Chains A and B, each alone.
Chain A
Amino acid sequence: MTVSVWGPVHQDMTALLTGQPDDVPAVVDQLTKLQDILERVPPLLCSNPLADFNKLYLHITTTVLDRLYEGRFADPAFLSRLDVEFAARYFEALRHWSQGSAACPRVWSVLFHRVGGPDCRPLPSAAAGVNAHINFDLPFALVTTFDYFGSDPVDDGDQHADYLQINEIFADAIPGLRRGYLEKWQLLIDTINGDLDDWWQGETIEYARNVAWRNGQRLWSVRHDLPATAKERERLDSNAAALGRLLLSPLGALLQ
């Protein structure tokens, strides 16, 4: 075997990824441990782009967990399961990457490739992770979650409302990031094409997540049809990967 992608933390990483969290507290726990490991990956250590994303994701999941305890969701069982399914995809992508498997979605490989450098700005890194997670993983997580509950994705139900509540959590998390990380962001947003503008600004996450909801509904309708699902997966992966590459390109670095 060639040198591990994780360098000296390879063993820790492999051990951590054997865990398959099945509830939200366990997801938070796993993300916390992952953060610790990621910050030890040379050469970038704490400025490793994946650590930037993971930090944001950990923050968001912790908020979700708090809201679950506070009873803020209409259908917590649904939301918990979605959170678990959602995270499982991220962990699985990491697992595939660790094993050098071709099954690792391209949209994630784009980001994972950058773990070893060159250095990348935190915001575009986090954004690339959010992109992979929302534009690619989320629709699939939605489908498996609905399948588990034997219900289906219907607009305006309890589950849709809960799902949209996550928008708030993302929106709350991101201005903080922005204050911490960037000034020129706003300027750059204006110069980039409308798609990305929509994606990031104002309706940013909301826009992307609504797209994910629609994509989820589309996947749902073909979920028994394996070739069609594979095709859909391919489409989502290559679209999201293109966006991810853009975010991590020198253009993305300008964002900061």
Chain B
Amino acid sequence: MDSVGDDAPLVGRTATLDAIRTDLLDTGPGGTAAVFVTGESGVGKSRLLRETADALRAGGTAVLTGTCLDIGDASPLHPVLQALRRRGSAVTEVDGDAGALLERVSRELRAVAGERHLLLVLDDLQWADRSTRQLLLYLLAGLGDVRLSVLAAVRAESLQGTHPLRRVLAELRRLRWVRVVDLAPLDRAGTQELVTAIAGDGVEAEDADRVFKRSGGNPFVAEELARDLRDGRVELSDTLREIFLSRVDELDPQAHAVVHAVAAGVEPVEHPVLARVLTLPEDRLIEGIRNAVAHRFVVGAPDGYRLRHRLVAEVLEHQVLPAEQAVLHRRYAEALEATGSADHTRLAHHWQQAGEPQRALPSVVAAAHAAERLYGFAEAHRYWSLALDLSCDASTDRTELLAHAAESAHQCGEHQRALTRLEELAARPDGPGECEIHLRRARYLAAAGRSVTAEIEYEKALAVPACTPGEKATAAAYLAELLLHLGRYADAGARAREALRLAEADGTTADLVRASAALGFSEAFREDPDAGLAVIRHAVEIAERSGHPDDLGCAYLHLAELLTGPLNSLEEGVLVARRGAQKLAEMGVGRSYQTRLLAIAANGLFRVGQWAEAERVIDTAMRHRPSGADAVELLLARCRLWVGFGDIEAADRDLDAVATVLAGGGARHVLPMLTLRAGLAMWQGRHAEARAAVQRGLTETRSDDLVLMGILAWHGLRAEAEAHAAGGTVDPSAVRRLTTVVDRMTRGVANAAPPVRAVIDGYQDLCAAELSRIEDRHDPHPWARAAAVWDKRQQPYPAAYARLRMAEASFARKGKRSAAITALREAYATAQAMGAKPFAAEIAAVAARARVTLGEPDAVAATPAPDAGDPLGVLTGREREVLAKVAEGLTNKEIGQQLFISERTVGVHVGHIFDKLQVRTRVQASRVYLGAV
């Protein structure tokens, strides 16, 4: 909505304007801020945007302005790309993935901003496409590394019903640095001031009052009514529609034509295009434009003409005969073609409105391809659907259109739509074969969560005689993966074997990798981890030979997940994940895989207590500028570290960023986020907050997700115990619910696979121990048991926590002091080594109460910082330890025993050490080591 060149003063908005300006500059910890202005049409949102932009620009802020289009089928990222284009930068297509595109746009924004803070102004955000909304969240979460504020206007009328922005705003407004300003109409005094400003001081009070009543304080209407008052016109109506219609009638014919033409166009309408649309002689055209501007209908800018207010277009639309409208659109389309415009979206819009679908088709198809190149699958899907509407049944390209439409629907998550399209496709005589249809249907069904029907479809594909062994291998591999998700490990194993057998002949590497992964996991879950591991290792070898980034990334991902997940071979899992990421990085491909592998490595490092190393890994991964789910995964991993380190501000920042990205949807990550919130709140002594986070989490946990339930239940009971210890009250109903959850876990764990059972046992022990703490039993035994279980799982953090509580219980009971003191010191050493400050502080507090000295803290603060001249600087802390043992002449087996890791893991470390030091034997490696220390 534009009203450039307004001469009416801005009335009654000074306070709002000041507040918005302050809010925009008051950025959150992520360096971003946002203000969303909502309000009815004509209430002055655009004006407010413009005034704020001017003020900030004058204060040295870089400003970019874009407007969303109401043509329904705008191209992806339209308003932002438009804003950038006005500044002379262009983003066309980008190789890679949707994340690469977001990064590319961020880079342009950084370039525009330079050293300055950036303000991105977006008008009519209610018409923003899905891609634009996602870009906004990406930027606001700080992922684009652009210090920016977003100022956007949203029409309140549009937020009714199911508008996607409605929920996004509801989520965002919880964040401290996001404001949603609801712009109310002017009050009586404000309206009066406006009327006087326009019509002069001579206005009768009752006239001004009438304007207020008739306009309802809407400044846009009030302004028009005040003008009538000034010009002595008797206005008979107070609806906008009639006000404007009477104004239009006063225009001369040329100006009339100009206004109608601009109303039918996609703004901004460039002068050459307008000249072609209106077949007026040049001088009369200019005269018409002048007149339309003078009558305040149209505004001109260097890039073209716009209506002063989009409301006018809506009013005029009903005033024009459909035939006239069609002619205007046809002229637009012809004009655009004649001027050689490459704006397929706009062209498609006009041809369609002109009632010439056949001519729209090529543009629509071009627009669909263009949207896919910008990873706007939702937009692409709309174009493919439109193309289908435009093409007739007999048309030869209909089959191809259907195939595209189905796939794009699948990619943007419109599963039901995808299936419907697929049925149409299957019915085409020239459609794809039976086997492909089954496979695609099964994939779409699985994506929609309809596992049972998906399974049947895969089986059908396997039963069709026409299917090649290759196709069958694909079907069996996918089916194995599906069964694995359903927890049917034996069936999954059988299907995976079938897939591997079929793929031997002419299967693709992708099928081999998929099937191997499924087999590996199913074996691991069925108590033959070594067999499982062997299969996936083989898949990694195959993928390495094929060298295809997808295969390679996928295989490494599966191997790392298997090791860090069910096998609990954390250290080796971390090594594998890092190696995979390194390989892909060397090839310069698979950004998303690299990010995910590094996230696995970081989480593994966190669990084994190597927090400083985990932080380094996350730093590296963040440099890939991840987006969407990958970004959330990493932010959560980093936040876990901040919570551990006790860096509350940083933890808050990352949680805010996660919440921002999740405002666009993404339920999978809500539970980990809540767990972290609870953990953070507990260190801050905010037990009610922790309790609330846990309760919310528990209501949203599936009964089959025992691990998440375990973590949450433990956090919940710990919050109650801490509240109790701090002298607060325990919430009995919360404890009752939590014990219900623990019971559910006990029931569920009986049927769980052994690796899952092992994790659950650890949490069950912690839960039981916290309960004893709530009940003031001061019993060290449950804590000792928990410590032993977590030691066995090689996870020092929970183990040390259990030791602290064990010591605390012993002191309270006046039990054996020596065991308690040892436990406390061990816990302290672990806490110091990890850098877990709040935890260490708590241990110190307990020690002080029990009058125990904890020993020299500095002696434990291990690994010295590597300096540049150190030949061992390239090694990780763990690798140095292994190398020291190698230099002592120990075998891998002996090293493994001493460092409590498997012989295999030692082997992998040694391999890495050789690579990094560029040596080939243990003797050479020892020599480097001895030379350095």
Which A residues lie at the B interface, using CB under 8 A? 20, 22-26, 65, 68-71, 74-78, 80-81, 85, 88, 103, 140, 143-144, 147-154, 156-159, 219, 223-226, 229-230, 232-233
Assembled-state Cα–Cα distance A150/B411 (Å): 11
| A-B complex: 9 closest residue pairs judged by Cβ atoms | A23-B696, A71-B703, A68-B699, A143-B162, A77-B700, A150-B413, A233-B161, A152-B416, A80-B700
Cβ contact within 8 Å between B667 and A69 = no
Residues of the B chain whose Cβ atoms lie less than 8 Å from the Cβ of A158: 449
Indicate whether A225 sits within 8 Å of B702 (C-beta atoms), given known contacts A150-B665, A151-B448. Answer: no
Which residues from chain A contact B72 at a C-beta distance below 8 Å?
225-226
How many A-B residue pairs lie within 8 Å, measured between CB atoms?
Answer: 118
Inside 8 A of B740's CB, which chain A residues have their CB?
Answer: 69-70
Q: Is B631 an interface residue (CB 8 A)?
A: no
Task: Provide the bound-state CA to CA distance between A252 and B832, in Å.
Answer: 72
A34 to B510, CA, bound (A): 57
A230 to B162, CA, bound (A): 9
In the complex, residue of chain A having the shortest beta-carbon distance to the beta carbon of B736 = A69
Contact in complex: B699, A157 (CB < 8 Å): no
Count of chain B residues near A, Cβ 8 A: 44
Are A148 and B699 touching (Cβ within 8 A)?
no
Q: How far is A1 from B126 in the complex, measured between Cα atoms in Å?
A: 30
- Please measure, in the bound complex, the distance between the C-alpha atom of A151 and the C-alpha atom of B447, giving whole angstroms: 8
A31 to B447, CA, bound (A): 36
Restricting to B115-136, which residues have a CB under 8 Å from any CB of A?
126-127
From A24, A26, A80, A140, contact of B162 by CB (8 A): A140
Q: Is the CB of B167 within 8 A of A103?
A: no
Contact pick for B737, options A22, A69, A103, A150, CB 8 Å: A69
B416-A103 in contact (CB<8A):
no
Starting from the known contacts A76-B701, A80-B700, A148-B667, 6 additional A-B residue pairs (CB-CB under 8 Å) come to A22-B171, A22-B696, A23-B696, A74-B702, A76-B700, A219-B161
**Given contacts A147-B665, A229-B162, are A103 and B156 in contact (CB under 8 A)?**
yes
When A70-B740, A77-B667, A152-B415 are in contact, do A20 and B700 touch as well, CB less than 8 Å? no
Please determine whether A24 and B699 come into contact, CB atoms closer than 8 angstroms. yes
Interface string of B719-752 (1 = CB under 8 A from A): 0000000000000000001001100100000000
Bound CA–CA A147/B415 (angstroms)? 12
Chain B residues near A223 (CB, 8 Å)?
A: 162, 164
Cα distance A69–B701 when bound, in Å? 9
Smallest Cβ-Cβ distance to A141: which chain B residue:
B162
- Given contacts A77-B670, A149-B667, whether A233 and B702 have CB atoms under 8 Å apart is no
Q: Which of B55-88 contact A (CB under 8 A)?
A: 72
Q: Is the CB of A157 within 8 A of B160?
A: no
C-alpha gap A154/B700 in the complex (Å)? 20
Q: Is the CB of A157 within 8 A of B450?
A: yes
Contact A65 to B699, CB < 8 A, known contacts A150-B665, A152-B415, A230-B160: yes
Enumerate chain A residues within 8 angstroms of B164, measured Cβ to Cβ.
144, 147, 223
Specify the chain B residue showing the minimal Cβ separation from A83: B699
In the assembled complex, which residues on chain A have CB atoms less than 8 Å from the CB atom of B416? Answer: 152-154
CB <8 Å contact, A229 and B161: yes
B382 at the interface (CB under 8 A from A): yes
- Which chain B residue lies CB-closest to A67? B699
Whether B166 sits at the interface, judged by CB under 8 Å, is yes
**Pairwise interchain contact A144-B167, C-beta atoms closer than 8 A:** yes
Say yes or no: A77-B702 contact (C-beta < 8 A), given A23-B696, A158-B449, A233-B161.
yes
> Can you name 23 A-B residue pairings with CB atoms under 8 Å?
A20-B173, A22-B171, A26-B692, A69-B737, A69-B740, A69-B741, A76-B700, A77-B701, A77-B702, A78-B667, A144-B167, A147-B167, A151-B415, A154-B415, A154-B416, A156-B450, A157-B448, A159-B449, A223-B162, A223-B164, A226-B127, A229-B163, A233-B160
- In the assembled complex, the Cα of A142 lies from the Cα of B667 at a distance in Å of 15
Question: Once the chains are docked, how many angstroms separate the CA of A216 from the CA of B57?
Answer: 45
Residues of A with C-beta under 8 A to B500: none
Contacts of B157 in A (CB 8 A): 103
Q: Does B436 have its Cβ within 8 Å of any Cβ on chain A?
A: no
Residue B599 lies at the interface, judged by CB distance under 8 Å to chain A:
no
Distance of A150 Cα from B167 Cα, bound (Å): 13
